[in-house]
Amino acid sequence: MGKQDENVSPERAAEIVGVEYAKRIEELNLEIYGKARDYAAARGIIIADTNFEFAFDISASDPSEAVVLVYEVLTPNSSRFWPAAKFHVGRAQESLDKQFSRDWLTSEGLKGKENSRNAGRGGEEEGSTTPRVFTF
């Protein structure tokens, strides 16, 4: 996981943000994923992996509107997509995302090397003021 990433169980999410907000985040996750899954499936694509990141709009007057979807959503950078027609259980899948780059880095012995993760992004300094975003 990256410096800012943290896997959070539903129970832990409720401890962090409260039961009401955790429930709303879960509802939004399922709604967004369901629509995306159906859209992709109708076009012959499997969404193999994705995540949604949420934050709170502290200016919202209604708590049900305080949870907002942030960051990139269903992009080749945040998700893995497979062509359904070429899917086979038990083997590496052909990918329609950045997985081919990850595979190449691994095969060339570069995955995990210093600066390979932050190449072109400027990196993040230790003690960065970047806010933590929890992915549920």
For 77-122, the DSSP string reads: TT-EEEEGGG--TTSPPP-SSTHHHHHHHHHTT-TT-TTTSSTTTT
Predicted local distance difference test score (pLDDT) of residue 76: 84
Distance CA 99, CA 38 (A): 22
Class of 10-107 in CATH: alpha beta
The secondary structure element, H or E, covering residue 41 is: helix 19-41
| Tens of pLDDT, residue by residue, the chain (136 residues) | 445 667 889 999 999 989 999 999 999 999 999 999 999 999 999 999 998 989 989 888 887 788 999 988 998 888 999 999 999 999 888 888 777 777 777 888 876 665 544 444 444 444 444 444 444 4
Tokens of 70: 């942030």
Angle CA(76)–CA(86)–CA(53) in degrees, nearest 5? 25
Q: Please, are residues 40 and 51 in contact by the beta-carbon 8 Å criterion?
A: no
